[in-house]
Structures are given as C-alpha cells and as structure tokens.
C-alpha cells in the first residue's frame, strides 16, 4: 500500500484566488481543522510578504497541533544576493517553524525573461537557498515552478534545476504545473522520468486551468509521486488548485493509498463547508464528494434502482465523506421518488406503486411544476404537500382575511401595512403590522398573530427572498416564483410560492416557511424526548 502525504496550501495559494480573503483568525481556525482532519503539512503563508502572515506564524506557534507540520513559504534568494544577505529570505528563516517550501525557476524562459538573469545564476540561487535552510535545521520542500512547461521545452536544463536542489539537500522536490495546462498522460510520463533520475521523493502541485488538477495529481501518484499539494474546495489563483476534497477520497477509496484515516475522511464535507463559510463563499453544490448535489437523485428510474440497492447509482457511500443521499422531486420524478421521500419522513401510508394517494401526489407535483413551482430548493413546501396528500397533516392555522395597504405621498417613501385575521384552533386573531414593503408587512403581521400560540416562531428568521419572473414575454402580467429561505438556531429550509400576483406568491412561501418550521420543531422535540 503506497503512502501519500497531503500538503495543504489553502492558507497561501488558496487565498490568491479571486474573492478569497482570510483574516488571521480565519487562517488559525482553518489550520486547526486541517490538523484534526489529518493533513500532514499546512502551508501557512509567505511570512516575508505581508503583516498578516507574520502574525499567523507568531500565533500558530502557540497552538498544540495533533500531528500536522506548519510550513513557511518563500522563494530562493534574489539574483546576485546570497541567502544571508537577502532580507526576504531571512524573514523565512525567522518564521518560527522548521519546515519550508521555497519556489524556484525551472523553465529557462522564466529565468531569462522574468528573473532577467543567467541560467547559471539561477542554479546558484537554488543550491545556496536550499543549503542555507538545511543548515538551519529545516525540512525543505523545493517547489519547481513551471516544471512541466520547462521540461517540454528544455528538459536538460529543467532537470539541472531540480538536481541542484537535490544535491543541496532538499527533502522533497515538488513538480509544479503552474500554468495548469498539462495533460494527464504528459504528467504521468514526465513524473515517471523524473522519479527514475532522483534519489529524493517527488511531489505534485497542479493548477486547474484545464480542469485536470485532480486527475493530474492522481496520475503523478501512479507515476511515483508521494506528496500532493492542493487546497480545500480547489481555491486558488485563476481556475484554482487541485481540490483536496476530491484528491483525498480518491487516494484512499479508489487507489488504496495510505493517506488519511477513513474515520477522519467522514468529516470532509463538514470541513469543506467550514472553509467556505470562513471565506464567505457560496458552496458549489456540484463539487464531487462534498457538494450538496453530489449524491442527489432526481430521475425516477435512478431512484427506483436506488431503493433496491444504492450502488446502482452511487460510486461510493455518501457517509464515507460525511455527505448524505438526497432524493429530489420534480416533474421528472416517478413513483419511486414519492415512495422514497414518504419512507424518509416515516409517513404512515401504504407505499406501493399502485397506491392511488401516491399517484395523486405525483400528478399534483407534475402539475405544480408545470405551473412554475420548483421543489428542489423548497423542501419545506414539498414535505407539506406530501403530508397533505397522505392525510398526515393538520393545518396549525388558517387565514380568514388579509388586506395590504400601500400609501405613497409626494416626496415621501411608500408605506406598507398588513391587516390580518387568522384562525388558530377555535380562536380568531385580528391584528396589523407595518413593514418596509408589502411582503415585510405581511411577514410581521403573520408573526404577530401567531407568536403567542407558537413562541418558537420567534427563532425563525427570513434569511433569503428570491423572485423569478416565469414568463418574461408577458411583462407585468407574468407569473412569478418566490423562493424563501428561513433559518432557526439549528437549521435552514426553503419554501416556494407561485402566482401571477407577487403578494400571493410571497404569502404562499411565507405560510409554508412557518408551518414547516413548526413541524421541524415538533419533530426535534420528539427526538430529544
């Protein structure tokens, strides 16, 4: 069984991605979570480049990590300057850690055009920089920048650069596909050739410009590489880096490599979402393994097979990476989708393909989606629909009357007021509320009417409100779909409403959001009991 180490560069290379910015506190939190995941090396940043990274290295030294080594990133000394005279290199030496990754030029084109120096001077810079770090007791990774592009153009000189790093004492040579344009078959051939010529281990650092970073990283391992550098969620410059959330399970579950313990990989989905949250990024639902849609099934044929055996349409058990199976319901659904969801909700109904209730619910869903409803992002509305169809639901409240008043006076903003009459059990509640718009006024009035009966409504907050025009060619007479996301202290859920009147569509989604929230609260109370 082959051992492969994971080198995470989310905190350095990942932050070079557009729209990615992490505070020092964010970086510390992510480093601690990466350590708990079992990542072997965590690249903390470039201590000589900015005050944020300097502070990170100062503070991370005070943390007791379980097993990960913190790595400081830097570059070789500058042309014409020794490492001892290079101020930036000296900051690297004083970073407080004992592992360093230094990047150097491997492509002759970059040496002459970017560094504006000679090929011989570049070799000197690499050799002396590695020797200096080794003399100070560092574990040294030499990152051979643009290695694959350089190898294709001038393999002789490119090999000279990494042989110089090896002779100077580098512990590992990391081959970088910096422009991200290499193909998997090229990676395999070149890495294989390099491994034969080196005595030190080889790693891979792949960028995703050809959407091949994960594939290239895995091909490098098959050719002899023993370390993969990448980032959580594939964050990184341009199109990103190799996504470790895909690399790790592929190594362990598909290739049988000794890498990270399987029980720790079960926290991978949570780690992915945690890093997205700290980076203030909306999670990509279509990421393999950890995305919300990675194990989502919609087609009726697929779900029918899943009910018999999940392996029919899943290449791995979602629980192994901390994800969950989801069955979606839409106009593409079959009876199996309804049966699966009813079983999931533990509804006490006759669940078979000939059950008239099942057929009626399925037809209703298809009709509603034809009208513009969308239940994939509105699990709250769907569960209510399912419960009503199987006689498993009792309305917690009903509307008697609703009136919305909008008033616009010259040189003043429009004011909104909602007057509502609700029936809750045998009682009738009549109240009113204002808002900064008609939907906000309705929401305030609805909550005001119900909170004395259902205090848990106070914990429910409207998190998102989206309006989609369904038939744009009809102008202001178009139907609209309103999607609402609501959350409480523990969870979030979506509901939907469709109408030619935006107030009516909003009302449907608002009512469902509260009704479904009450069901969730009741369900969680039963579990706690």
The reported pTM is 0.76
The two three-digit tokens of residue 14, written as one number = 């990942």
Confidence of residue 40 (pLDDT cuts 50, 70, 90): very high
Predicted local confidence at residue 115, as pLDDT: 92
Lowest-confidence pick of 24-33, 36-45, 409-418: 409-418
* Mean of pLDDT values over 159-173: 98
5-260 carries CATH number 3.20.20.70? yes
Range with the lowest mean pLDDT among 82-96, 281-295, 409-423?
A: 409-423
Residues 6+ apart with CB under 8 A from 78: 86, 88, 125
Res. 331: pLDDT tops 60: no
C-alpha span between 298 and 302 (Å, rounded): 7
Q: Which pLDDT band, with edges at 50, 70 and 90, does 329 fall under?
A: low
Give the pLDDT of residue 355: 66
Taking residues 26-48, report their average pLDDT.
96
> Is the CA virtual torsion 185, 189, 194, 195 positive or negative?
positive
Give the Cα separation of 213 and 234 in Å (integer).
9
Query: Do 441 and 434 meet the contact criterion of CB atoms below 8 Å apart?
Result: yes
Q: What percent of the chain has pLDDT over 90?
A: 68
Domain boundaries, the chain: 5-260, 296-371+378-387
DSSP sequence for 311-338: GGT-SS-GGGGT---EE--STT--HHHH
Beta-bridged to residue 206, according to DSSP, are: 177
pLDDT category of residue 386 using cuts at 50, 70 and 90? confident
Contact 225, 216 (CB under 8 A): no
For helices 155-167 and 119-135, angle between their N-to-C axes, nearest 10 degrees: 20
pLDDT band for 351, please (50, 70, 90 cuts).
low
Average model confidence (pLDDT) for the chain?
90
Q: Are 281 and 20 within 8 A, CB to CB?
A: yes
CA geometry: angle 222, 224, 225, nearest 5 deg = 95
> If residue 145 lies in a helix (H) or strand (E), which one and from where to where?
strand 139-145
pLDDT band at residue 21, thresholds of 50, 70 and 90?
very high
What pLDDT band is residue 330 in, cutting at 50, 70 and 90? low
pLDDT of residue 384: 83
Percent share of the chain, pLDDT over 70: 89
Helix (H, G, I), strand (E, B) or coil at 134: helix
Looking up tokens 């006490």, which residue turns up?
A: 348
More confident residue, 497 or 297: 497
Q: Tell me, what DSSP letter sits at residue 84? A: G
Minimal CA–CA distance to 173: which of 147, 142, 217, 196?
142
| pLDDT higher than threshold 60 for residue 316 | yes
Q: Specify the DSSP class assigned to residue 250.
A: I
How many Cα atoms occupy the beta-carbon half-sphere of 422 within 13 Å?
23
pLDDT one-digit tens code per residue, 173-223: 999 999 999 999 999 999 999 999 999 999 999 999 999 999 999 999 999
């Amino acid at each position: 069984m082959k051992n492969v180490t994971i080198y995470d560069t989310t905190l350095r290379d990942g932050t070079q991605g557009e729209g990615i910015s992490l505070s020092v506190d964010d970086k510390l939190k992510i480093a601690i979570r990466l350590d708990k995941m079992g990542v072997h090396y965590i690249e903390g940043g470039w201590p000589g480049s900015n005050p944020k990274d300097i502070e990170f290295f100062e503070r991370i030294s005070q943390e007791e990590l379980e097993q990960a080594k913190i790595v400081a990133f830097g570059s070789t000394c500058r042309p014409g300057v020794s490492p001892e005279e290079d101020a930036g290199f000296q900051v690297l030496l004083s970073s407080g850690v004992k592992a360093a990754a230094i990047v150097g030029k491997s492509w002759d084109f970059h040496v002459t055009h970017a560094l504006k120096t000679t090929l011989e001077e570049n070799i000197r810079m690499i050799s002396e920089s590695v020797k200096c770090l080794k003399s100070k007791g560092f574990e040294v990774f030499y990152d051979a920048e643009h290695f694959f592009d350089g190898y294709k153009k001038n393999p002789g000189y490119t090999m000279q650069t990494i042989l110089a790093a090896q002779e100077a004492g580098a512990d590992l040579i990391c081959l970088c596909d910096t422009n991200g344009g290499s193909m998997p078959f090229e990676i395999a051939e070149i890495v294989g050739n390099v491994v034969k010529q080196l005595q030190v281990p080889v790693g891979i650092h792949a960028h995703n410009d050809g959407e091949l970073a994960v594939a290239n990283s895995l091909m490098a391992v098959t050719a002899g590489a023993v370390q993969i550098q990448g980032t959580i969620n594939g964050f990184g410059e341009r199109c990103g880096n190799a996504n470790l959330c895909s690399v790790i399970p592929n190594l362990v579950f598909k290739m049988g490599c000794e890498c990270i313990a399987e029980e720790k990989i079960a926290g991978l989905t949570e780690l992915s979402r945690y890093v997205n949250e700290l980076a203030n990024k909306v999670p990509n639902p279509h990421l393999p393994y950890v995305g919300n849609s990675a194990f989502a099934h919609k087609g009726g044929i697929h779900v029918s097979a899943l009910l018999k055996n999940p392996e029919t349409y899943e290449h791995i058990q979602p629980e192994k990476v901390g994800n969950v199976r989801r069955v979606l319901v839409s106009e593409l659904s079959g009876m199996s989708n309804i049966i699966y969801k009813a079983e999931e909700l533990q509804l006490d109904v006759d669940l078979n393909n000939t059950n008239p209730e099942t057929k009626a619910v399925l037809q209703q869903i298809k009709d509603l989606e034809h009208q513009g409803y969308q239940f994939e992002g509105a699990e709250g509305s769907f569960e209510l629909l399912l419960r009503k169809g199987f006689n498993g639901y009792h309305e917690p409240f009903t509307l008697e009357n609703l009136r919305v008043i909008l008033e616009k006076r010259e040189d003043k903003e429009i004011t909104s007021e909602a007057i509502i009459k609700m029936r809750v059990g045998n009682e009738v509640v009549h109240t009113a509320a204002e808002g900064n718009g008609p939907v906000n006024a309705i929401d305030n009035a609805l909550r005001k009417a119900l909170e004395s009966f259902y205090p848990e409504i106070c914990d429910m907050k409207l998190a998102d409100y989206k309006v989609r025009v369904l038939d744009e060619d009809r102008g202001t007479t178009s139907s609209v779909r309103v999607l609402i996301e609501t959350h409480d202290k523990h969870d979030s859920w979506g509901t939907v409403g469709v109408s030619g009147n935006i107030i009516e569509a909003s009302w449907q989604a608002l009512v469902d959001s509260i009704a479904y929230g009450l069901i969730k609260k009741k369900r969680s109370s039963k579990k706690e009991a």
